[in-house]
Amino acid sequence: MRHHSKNKKFGRVRKVRLAFMRSLARALVLHGKIETTEARAKALRPFVERLVTHAKRGTIVARRFAVRRMGNASGAELLFKNIGKKYEKRAGGYTRIVKTGFRKSDGAPRAIIEFV
């Protein structure tokens, strides 16, 4: 039985995987869209959408949550100022994943994840 198999592991230990998700989330917030592998984009989506939901609330607890999850205050501040305000009326589904083909070197499926 494979208990606790819900999350993708990406061949990394927990700390490194969390740092990896933080860096992807920071890049997405800063640039608006990033191109990565399909599996990474699918794992990043719930991570970022939870941050956007907290950014919509705008409370001090939500800000602390975002800073803790993103790893730095500057990315979280950008999340609250721009993205949280932009999706205030939207009920969910803040990101879109568009498949873009396969990577030439190893054939990994690529995708663009972007804010709607």
Which residues span the domain enclosing 68?
35-115
**Mean pLDDT of successive 10-residue stretches along the chain, which has 116 residues:** 81 94 95 96 96 94 94 90 93 96 96 97
Does 29 reside within a domain?
Answer: no
Structure tokens at 84: 């949280």
pLDDT of residue 72: 87
Longest dimension (CA), the chain: 45
C-alpha–C-alpha distance, residues 41 and 99, integer Å:
10
**Strand order across the beta sheet in which 33-37 lies:** 33-37, 109-115, 95-102
pLDDT of residue 5: 75
pLDDT of residue 1: 79
Does 71 reside within a domain?
Answer: yes
Which residue, chain included where needed, has tokens 């932009």? 86
pLDDT of residue 57: 92
pLDDT of residue 49: 95
Which residues lie below 8 Å from residue 88, measured CB to CB, with a gap of 6+? 56
CATH assignment of the domain containing 80 = 3.90.1030.10
pLDDT of residue 105: 94
Which residues lie below 8 Å from residue 87, measured CB to CB, with a gap of 6+? 52, 55, 56, 94
pLDDT of residue 87: 94
Q: Which helix (H) or strand (E) holds 36?
A: strand 33-37
pLDDT of residue 65: 95
- Count of the separate structural domains present in the chain: 1
